[in-house]
Structure 1
Amino acid sequence: MNPVEKGYKNVHGIQMYYEMYGSGKPLVLIHGGGSSILFDFKEVIARLGDQFQLIGIDLQNHGKSGHRYIPETFEQDADDVAALLEEIGIHKASFWGFSNGGSTVMQIAHRHPEMVEKLVVASAFYKRDGMIEGFFESMNEATLESMPEPLKINFLSLNPDFSKLENMFDKDSKRMQTFEDWDDGVLTAIKSPALFISGDKDVMKPEHTAAMWRLVKDSQLMILPGVHGAYMMADFGGNVAVNLIDFTVREVEKFLNH
């Protein structure tokens, strides 16, 4: 995995890290909570590097990007991504966001519509009742010890300062604990074609993914077998469902190219 370009840009008071792979039409990759570019998108980059100019971004408090000691919001993340893209001269792109990154790319389409060609929204949510039973209760009780070990190892390999891991975990947990439902208007205002994806055993109910699909004109829906993200990345045990990921990436490629 050798990026053709990587670096930092000063965005809203922090240094934000990005990597670029391949060439072609720009496709921006936005990772999920507690994660980073390659943790979520390694398999996707390996398959799409010869098709698109892939731009991975580490969000505030994540990966190699700088830390803020203010609450995280999807709106802030959306504005950060838009500002970083302007800094590197990308004025219009397609976006693929996974998990919290999926909620972030919907906010990008809502707040910066002129930047968005197409959207791939993978395993995201916009209302609390869209999540499986017990999700928010478990978030209220979350401790750093309960954070999945692979995410901790990944974070510390990129950013060995343990206090920054604590800050990121604290900010991510609080964002979930205090999340307030979005108005349907956030989604109905999206004018870009969108593809909504989730797993049938995901942390959001398949019905919730379908509800988002119904709100966005010109959108497509794909419910795939498996748990959170297994259709595009290794699971926490390191298992890679090669055929399933091949299928997902082929369908996304088809959607983005037509």
Structure 2
Amino acid sequence: MPHTKTSDGVRIAYQVRGDGPPLVLLAGQANDHHWWDDVRDDFSDVRSTVTIDYRGTGESDKPHLPYSVERFADDVVAVLDELAVHRADVYGTSMGGRVAQCLAARHTQRVRALVLGCTSPGGQHGIERSGEVRRSLIQSDPEEARQALLKLMYTPAWLAMHPGPYHTLGDRSMPAHARRGHLVASNGHDAWDALPGIVAPTLVLHGTDDLLNPVANAPLMAARIPGARLQLIQGARHAYFEECRDLASPLVLDFLDQKAPLR
């Protein structure tokens, strides 16, 4: 698997699949590129998709260094530099949406179009999940916590038809310090002041039944980013991009295709 080295000496693994204009796909917290396994082909048929293993996950280094969303965004830039990609479309979901916000705000010339899925602006303006949801995820029994997360990601009907394996529940190979680092990074995200500076055309996607990252965050971001479009997917939970892929993936591609061709 190819790697690049960042300015602070960390090796970041990346994966490229497909042919066409580049599309960066950014996964959720404590997940590697496998987050996209079940939907990546929706994009790789017409795009050159680029994924990364965040530092701390997958085949990337797992340093005992501070983790932050800003650092993750800079790691993405290091991969784009390695691939000689000057500008790319970016689609980030969950914490990946936080990384995408930071990327688009800090590196405006590198992002042509932006899709933010099931994410939040963070900080005091972000809408936090309920105490009940938080408690369900920190149960002492790991299997009960896993089941709680599954129910937040997918609807009961979908789970009944799809027994797994699931690729959105976290990278089990992560060491404890990296897992904590990802939590700190995601919790420390606050892009509210930066969002008006995003110049890339932006689509905000969210499932209406998302309790893990409450849907109220979507209109907040859409109103804060100049010219952003908002699309809610009825009845969908956090992993709308997988459960509702037949709707969500075409929405993303249609939005990106409305822009001038990227070559």
TM-score range, shorter chain: 0.7 to 0.9
Residue 94 of structure 1, aligned match among 75, 89, 97: 89
Distance 1:130 1:122 in 2: 15
1:148 is paired with a residue whose SS is helix
Deviates more, 1:192-201 or 1:139-148: 139-148
| Distance change in 2, residues 1:13/1:145 (3 Å) | farther
CA contact 1:30–1:58 (8 Å) conserved in 2: no
Distance 2:67 2:111 in 1: 22
| Distance change in 2, residues 1:175/1:148 (3 Å) | farther
2:193 is paired with a residue whose SS is helix
Distance 1:151 1:48 in 2: 17
Structure 1 stretches of 4+ moved >6 Å: 151-154
TM-score with structure 1 setting the length: 0.81
Structure 2 segments unaligned to the other structure (5+ residues) = 148-165, 259-263
CA contact 1:144–1:169 (8 Å) conserved in 2: no
Structure 1 residue aligned with 2:44: 49
Query: Superposition pairs for residues 55-204 of structure 1, below 5 Å?
Result: 55-128=50-123, 129-134=126-131, 138=135, 145=142, 148=146, 155-156=171-172, 159=173, 164-176=174-186, 179=188, 181-182=190-191, 184-202=192-210, 203-204=212-213
TM-score with structure 2 setting the length: 0.80
Distance 1:72 1:138 in 2: 24
2:89 is paired with a residue whose SS is strand
Which residue identity does 1:199 align to in structure 2?
A: G
Distance 2:69 2:170 in 1: 22
Deviation at 1:143, TM superposition (A): 7.2
2:48 is paired with a residue whose SS is strand
> What is the root-mean-square deviation in Å for CA atoms of aligned residues?
2.6
Which residue identity does 2:122 align to in structure 1?
A: K
1:89 is paired with a residue whose SS is coil
Structure 2 residue aligned with 1:252: 252
Structure 2 residue aligned with 1:3: none
CA contact 1:31–1:99 (8 Å) conserved in 2: yes
Structure 1 residue aligned with 2:23: 27
| Distance change in 2, residues 1:135/1:91 (3 Å) | farther
Aligned length: 234
1:125 is paired with a residue whose SS is coil
Structure 1 segments unaligned to the other structure (5+ residues) = 1-5, 234-240
Deviation at 1:137, TM superposition (A): 5.2
Which residue identity does 2:4 align to in structure 1?
A: K
CA contact 1:9–1:17 (8 Å) conserved in 2: yes
Relative contact order (alpha carbons < 8 A, sep ≥ 6): 1 or 2 greater? 2
Deviation at 1:92, TM superposition (A): 0.5
Distance 1:73 1:121 in 2: 18
Deviation at 1:172, TM superposition (A): 2.2
Distance 1:42 1:114 in 2: 28
1:65 is paired with a residue whose SS is coil
CA contact 1:97–1:103 (8 Å) conserved in 2: yes
| Distance change in 2, residues 1:195/1:135 (3 Å) | farther
Determine which structure has the larger strand proportion and give its number: 1
